[in-house]
Structure 1
Amino acid sequence: MNEIQSPNERPHAILFDLDDTLWPIGPVIAEAELTLHAWLAEHAPKVAQAFTIEEMRARRMALLAADPAHHLDLAKLRRAALQAAFEHVGEDLAHVDGAMTHFHSARNTVKLYDDVLPGLLRLSDKVILGSVSNGNADLEVIGLAHHFKVSLAASRFGIAKPDPAIFLAACEALGVAPRQAVYVGDDLRLDVEGAQKAGLRAVWMNRTGSNAHVDMGIAPDAICSSFDELIAWLEQQLAD
């Protein structure tokens, strides 16, 4: 654990990012897209025959570049790309809903980092817990919703990280001042810099030992490689 700055008030709440903070998301999305393509081969074969997984991904990125507002809801982006592909090859649009249902299920088949569940249980005895995410994880489906008093998703809130508004709304919903809250995430710009600009302290969950914060000129309040380190840091703040 590497503490960068000294806090000025005892934390009352910890807010978490989800993807790549509580579980690795890359393998999940890769598997979800693989199984979706297999589903399309069975239920919408014209689409599967016309576009590879990589080509479908490129079409989504093109839509995103044309309309950056899609960053707010990546599921909506995926649906729009699927619908355009269905229309392009003359496939039955009635299957778009089925494709999205299949992907949603696969996308939420996540494997938590080993330290997450015991870590959340230990933290819940010390502070209020919440989450703020730009992604489309469904905490009810995953089975983690009950750990968080408040969970905000950019797709429903209408504003995404790093905008201060979503952090401030989460603090308000938890009944704490920003200076009493800590945000934990893996992304230096979206999570650390975004939270700090909203007045929260920010812990960089850096499981890989990266030194990217140096090159980016971002100073997290602490850098932790595990939940054990996060809890040790929190206990130090609570003891001060």
Structure 2
Amino acid sequence: MLLLTVFLAWPSSNVAVQAFTTPAAPTHKRLHLLTFDLDDTIFPIGPVVAEANDAMISRLQTFGYTDANNDEIVAASKRIRNELREVGEALTYTDLRKQSIRREIMRLTDLQHHQVDDSIVEDVFDSWLSTRHASADKHLFSDCVDALEAIQIQHPDAIIGAITNGRGNPLFMPSVKDFFHFCVSGEDEGVFPKRKPDKGIYEAALETFYNLRKEESPDSLNWIHVGDDLANDVGAAAITGAKSIWLSAEEEESDLPSWSTATKEEMERRAMLNDSAKKYVSSKISSLNELESAVMHILTGER
């Protein structure tokens, strides 16, 4: 912020009086809301899920299920999704994982579905989830915290939120929790099943923002969303009213991770959505250390 200074020299004294004019008006729009995707945007999802899965298997083994196997759990997840698809139903990722854990216990025993101890399923899932948060915090991209600090300094009044389809939550990650005001998940009651790229999850994030900032008007909102996925982040956020920053690494992975339950048809549809979302990119960055510059370009109307 520019301050104009005038020095007045009094004839009878060597004292200089410093007078300040009204601060110059900012040359850019005010940032009201900045939202982030999580997986592969502020941390790499691959090692995070791998470590959470290892913790899940280890926990199952402590209960005596020594032959528990993650590949079997992934296969069970795919079978459950196919069964639900045939009847037109859907599950949250949380319930899908819990059912998959239950089926793994059934595979290793003679127990029927209703005979599996619910407390064990909950315990194993909690181990997976707590490790996921701890691992995400450990694997944060090296420039993540610095980028968030820069945003906080340059835009101290901005609300910062997370919008994710899964169970990641920065409010449970010690290194970044103090930067975030809220997290909206596709698992949340009132949001599911409106996961990205459905605009419903973004509308839920906006509702959360306006609950925090009741004085803000939708007509003047300056909202920027950051994410790595063209369809889920760039396109879906843009049609809900955000300017979108696409975090695109130099090398894009085309193969599905081993733990994914997405079908071939879903991936083909995703590819089409990605292509159509490119026109909504307001700024493209390759790492988070470019974020503040990209935000300022958007707020000043530059490209």
How does the TM-score come out when normalised to structure 2? 0.67
- The alignment partner of 1:113 has SS state of coil
The reply on whether 1:113 has 2:141 as its aligned counterpart is yes
- CA distance in 1 between counterparts of 2:202 and 2:195 reads 9
Match of 1:137 in 2: 168
Q: 1:84 to 1:139 in 2, by over 3 A?
A: same
Give yes or no for contact 1:108–1:137 (8 Å, CA) kept in 2: yes
- The alignment partner of 1:15 has SS state of strand
Q: Name the amino acid aligned to 1:168.
A: E
- CA distance in 1 between counterparts of 2:141 and 2:208 reads 27
- CA distance in 2 between counterparts of 1:138 and 1:151 reads 6
1:210 is displaced (CA, Å) by 4.4
Match of 1:5 in 2: none
- CA distance in 1 between counterparts of 2:51 and 2:228 reads 22
Higher relative contact order (CA 8 A, sep 6+): 1
* Larger helix percent: 1
Q: 1:10 to 1:210 in 2, by over 3 A?
A: farther
Give yes or no for contact 1:163–1:194 (8 Å, CA) kept in 2: yes
Give yes or no for contact 1:184–1:204 (8 Å, CA) kept in 2: yes
- CA distance in 2 between counterparts of 1:12 and 1:135 reads 25
1:186 is displaced (CA, Å) by 0.9
Match of 1:225 in 2: 286
* 1:100 aligned to which of 125, 131, 144: 125
1:150 is displaced (CA, Å) by 2.6
- The alignment partner of 2:187 has SS state of helix
* 2:76 aligned to which of 53, 59, 67: 59
Instruction: Specify every segment of 5 or more residues in structure 2 that has no aligned partner in the other structure, as ranges.
Output: 1-28, 211-215, 255-270
* 2:275 aligned to which of 204, 210, 216: 216
- The alignment partner of 1:183 has SS state of strand
Match of 1:163 in 2: 198
Instruction: Specify every segment of 5 or more residues in structure 1 that has no aligned partner in the other structure, as ranges.
Output: 1-8
Runs of 4+ in 1 over 4 A off after TM superposition: 68-71, 209-215
Q: Name the amino acid aligned to 2:286.
A: S
Q: 1:183 to 1:63 in 2, by over 3 A?
A: same
- CA distance in 1 between counterparts of 2:181 and 2:61 reads 41
The 5 Å alignment of 1:35-54 reads 35-45=55-65, 48-49=66-67, 52-54=69-71
Match of 2:94 in 1: 75
Give yes or no for contact 2:36–2:161 (8 Å, CA) kept in 1: yes
Aligned length: 229
Match of 1:184 in 2: 226
1:58 is displaced (CA, Å) by 1.2
